[in-house]
Amino acid sequence: MDIKIDRLPLPSSIIYFNMAPKVSISVVVVAWVLCVFMHSTNMFIAAVSVAASESSLEAKALRESGWWSGLSNETSLNHCKWNEIECNDGGSVTGIFMDDIYLGDNNIWKFNFSSFKNLVSLSLWNTGLRGSIPQQIGTLSKLILLDLSSNNLTGHLPLFLTNLTQLESFYIYQILISGPIPEELGNIKNLQILYLGYNKLTGLIPSALGHLTNLRVLYLSSNMITGSIPNKLGDLKNLQVLFLGNNKLTGLIPSALGHLTNLRGLYLSSNMITGSIPNKLGDLENLRVLSLGNNKLTGLIASVLCIFTDLHNMTYLYLNSNQFNGSIPIEIGNMKSLTYLNLSNNNIVGEIPSTIRHLTNLSFLSLSWNQISGSIPIELANCSSLANLSLSHNYLNRSIPSQFSDLISLRFIDLSYNNLIGNIPLYLVNLEFNLSYNSLEGQISNIFQNHSFDAFIGNKDLCGDFKGFSPCLSSSQIMSKIKISLLLTSFIVLLLLWCFFYSRCWVIGKTQSNPSRTKNGDLFSIWNFDGKIAYEDIIEATKDFDIRYCIGTGGYGSVYKAQLPSGKVVALKKLHHLEAEDPSFDKSFKNEVQMLTEIRHRNIVKLHGYCLHKRCMFLVYQYMERGSLFCILSDDVEALELDWPKRMNIIKSIAHALSYMHHECIPVIIHRDISSNNILLNSELEAFVSYFGTARLLDPNSSNQTLNWRIPWW
């Protein structure tokens, strides 16, 4: 008897793996055969009558199931002749194969499983069954094959299934069962094939599965299994394929898996497995498919590939989306049987070795999303089976090799997001390709009219009669273009020089400035204030820093309140001129203010920007309506308003701000002067840290751990 296993919902990553499709199972022990060993005629007659009554019981159970309601009575006379039923010579049912026949929502509950004492195979794949797994199945003690897959059965994996000690093939994928994998499955010692994929199983992989030494296929993919891969799986000496992909596995790949010398396919992709690949996997001499993509594996790609260079059956190697680094070793040329190689989305650097030319069976190659540099090796043209080549998102330079026209199998090539130069080779016209975001130049030939604009976008030196690109110029046009651009360049340089000079002098120029000049829009006047505020607005709002608008003074200067034309109120700290005259101060002031404008915390006073000129120098920052905590505490009325819950909130806010400065800023900022004077409150009495005049930036690499840093008055 044959059992088909090639109708599985294989994920695309495994369709290339050709698993032995037929599984032979030893034939049934039949009541009839027992008769041969019986000596007495009476016993023989008794046995026949037992068999006959069993057979009629079975026939009754089948007819009452409602599964065969539409049969004509010619065929229905003998149930053993029904297509879906197999009987032994004694007329007793040994197999029920209802695959892909809709049995109706609740019909599984009408079926009297316990009538079938000799049942060996029960296959109910895709029959529309609902509810939990019927307990009566646990009484089918001779069962060798059980397939309940692709139904809507729910609930946990029931323990009574472990009574089926003869079971060799157990398919229970895609039926939505949840809960843990019972350890007791390890008692079904005859199990050869166990499919539990595409369910909602949780918990760990039980180590007890390591007792199933006859197991050839273990499929646990696409569940929500957690924990690490048990070492005990290394005891499954007969295992040929191990599918654990698309779960939530963590931990390392156990070296013990290297004992599985019959293993032909190992699928661990899309988990959260860490660490390096154990060298012992290099002992898996029959390995053809290794799928480790989309994990958190680390290590040098050179060491990783060298583990597998002696595996002469390896055709499929997926190591994509991990954290492998270093460069690709020349030994890659020894992996001659490789057909699919995916190293994309790692941290691989260096050049592609020319030994890649030995991979003549290579059909799919992806090295995208790495930091590979150098040129595209022309030796790739030797990989005559190449159909799909992705080298995008790297640092490849030089031109696209013309030799690739020899690659007759090539269908798709993605070279986008590199630094490739030169022209577009015409042989690409027969391919699907992406050359976007490179430095390609020259004419896009008309033969590419059927290709999408997206395939060329981001190459500014391409031209041609192509939508989105400007037409190419003749050589005389180019000459005149060069002349024009030279003129233009010199004009721009002069303009820039003038602007630079002007911007250094804008304070002087402001009195004569054109009155029609728009307010709220002069980006150059004040650094970094959303471009929504102009110097003139500030001067106007404070009537040129009139004493009326002054709300405080201190060692470094005075603080003004300014209401901008937009209605927004800001505080201005105008600095005394002394500091500004020191040229080194000028530079460090700019650097550090720039850094502080990037601080974003809801409990640190926001610096909006600054203005720096020897005539006037001020900082623009968030206005705090209630002033400093010190002032409020000194005022009897205001101090009463600040009740304990509000004080508690102030303490919390300050703690948050300090924690942010100490742990989340790079470099770390140490305030060094927290006091009630330096804590400001807004109209809602929310606290803000201010006055960074003595703050220091902590440079983690410097020996004294500090940088000199000073901003007066902020």
Q: Summarize the annotated binding site as residue ranges.
A: 573
Measured distance CA(21)–CA(700) in Å, rounded: 61
Nearer to ligand NAG by C-beta: 336 or 614?
336
* Contact in structure between 692 and 671 (CB atoms under 8 Å): yes
Measured distance CA(150)–CA(168) in Å, rounded: 19
Nearer to ligand NAG by C-beta: 3 or 287?
287
- Residue 561, phi then psi, degrees to nearest 5: -105, 130
Stretch that binds ligand NAG, among 133-141, 369-377, 578-586, 679-687 (CB under 6 A): 133-141
* Contact in structure between 400 and 426 (CB atoms under 8 Å): no
Least gap, CB of 371 to ligand NAG (angstroms): 10
Judged by CB under 6 A, does residue 397 bind ligand NAG? no
Query: Of these, 325, 388, 402, 649, which contacts ligand NAG (CB under 6 A)?
Result: 325
| Position with the least CB separation from ligand NAG | 138
- Residue 68, phi then psi, degrees to nearest 5: -120, 35
Nearer to ligand NAG by C-beta: 143 or 415?
143
Cα distances from 94 to residues 79, 89, 171, 197, in angstroms, run 12, 10, 18, 27
Judged by CB under 6 A, does residue 520 bind ligand NAG? no
Measured distance CA(357)–CA(377) in Å, rounded: 9
User: How many H helices and E strands in the chain?
Assistant: 12, 39
Stretch that binds ligand NAG, among 185-193, 250-258, 320-328, 439-447 (CB under 6 A): 320-328
By CB under 6 A, the count of residues binding ligand NAG is: 13
Site for ligand NAG in 152-181 (CB under 6 A): 160, 163
Site for ligand NAG in 288-307 (CB under 6 A): 298
Burial (CB count within 10 angstroms: exposed 0-12, middle 13-18, buried 19+), residue 253 = buried
Bridge partners of 323?
A: 298
Query: Of these, 135, 489, 675, 705, which contacts ligand NAG (CB under 6 A)?
Result: 135
| Residue in 581, 547, 593 with CA at minimum distance from that of residue 697 | 593
Nearer to ligand NAG by C-beta: 221 or 315?
315
* Contact in structure between 128 and 151 (CB atoms under 8 Å): yes
Judged by CB under 6 A, does residue 337 bind ligand NAG? yes
Query: Of these, 110, 189, 248, 336, which contacts ligand NAG (CB under 6 A)?
Result: 336
Least gap, CB of 361 to ligand NAG (angstroms): 4
Stretch that binds ligand NAG, among 135-143, 405-413, 434-442, 539-547 (CB under 6 A): 135-143
* Contact in structure between 293 and 313 (CB atoms under 8 Å): no
Least gap, CB of 139 to ligand NAG (angstroms): 5
Nearer to ligand NAG by C-beta: 76 or 419?
76
Judged by CB under 6 A, does residue 53 bind ligand NAG? no
Stretch that binds ligand NAG, among 38-46, 318-326, 393-401, 475-483 (CB under 6 A): 318-326
H, E, C per residue of 328-358: CCHHHHHCCCCCEEECCCCEEECCCCHHHHH
Least gap, CB of 323 to ligand NAG (angstroms): 6
Burial (CB count within 10 angstroms: exposed 0-12, middle 13-18, buried 19+), residue 205 = buried
- Residue 336, phi then psi, degrees to nearest 5: -65, -25
Look-up of token digits 């065929």: 75
Parallel, antiparallel or unpaired: strands 569-575 and 557-563: antiparallel
Nearer to ligand NAG by C-beta: 310 or 641?
310
Binding-site annotation: residue ranges for ATP: 573
Look-up of token digits 């010692």: 189
Measured distance CA(714)–CA(711) in Å, rounded: 7
Provide the H-helix boundaries in 356-504: 475-504
Judged by CB under 6 A, does residue 17 bind ligand NAG? no
Nearer to ligand NAG by C-beta: 177 or 596?
177
Judged by CB under 6 A, does residue 138 bind ligand NAG? yes
Measured distance CA(98)–CA(446) in Å, rounded: 59
Classify each residue of 117-135 as buried b or exposed e, where b means 16 or more C-beta atoms within 10 Å of its C-beta.
bbbbbbbbbbbbbeeebbe
Which amino acid is it at 190? N
Our answer to whether residue 673 is catalytic in this structure is: yes
Q: Which of 105, 546, 635, 673 is catalytic?
A: 673
Measured distance CA(138)–CA(144) in Å, rounded: 12
* Contact in structure between 121 and 94 (CB atoms under 8 Å): yes
Stretch that binds ligand NAG, among 57-65, 86-94, 132-140, 438-446 (CB under 6 A): 132-140
**Cα 693 from chain centroid?**
44
Least gap, CB of 163 to ligand NAG (angstroms): 4
Judged by CB under 6 A, does residue 73 bind ligand NAG? yes
Measured distance CA(137)–CA(143) in Å, rounded: 9
The continuous run of DSSP H or E covering 569 comes out as strand 569-575
The continuous run of DSSP H or E covering 122 comes out as strand 121-123
CB atoms within 10 A of CB 529: 21
Site for ligand NAG in 551-610 (CB under 6 A): none
Query: Of these, 254, 278, 326, 425, which contacts ligand NAG (CB under 6 A)?
Result: 326
Nearer to ligand NAG by C-beta: 284 or 661?
284
H, E, C per residue of 611-660: EECCCCEEEEEECCCCCEHHHHHHCHHHHHHCCHHHHHHHHHHHHHHHHH
Residues ≥6 apart with Cβ < 8 Å to 490: none
Query: Of these, 139, 166, 226, 286, which contacts ligand NAG (CB under 6 A)?
Result: 139
Measured distance CA(323)–CA(301) in Å, rounded: 9
Interface positions with ligand NAG (CB under 6 A): 73, 135, 138-139, 160, 163, 298, 323, 325-326, 336-337, 361
Active site residues: 673
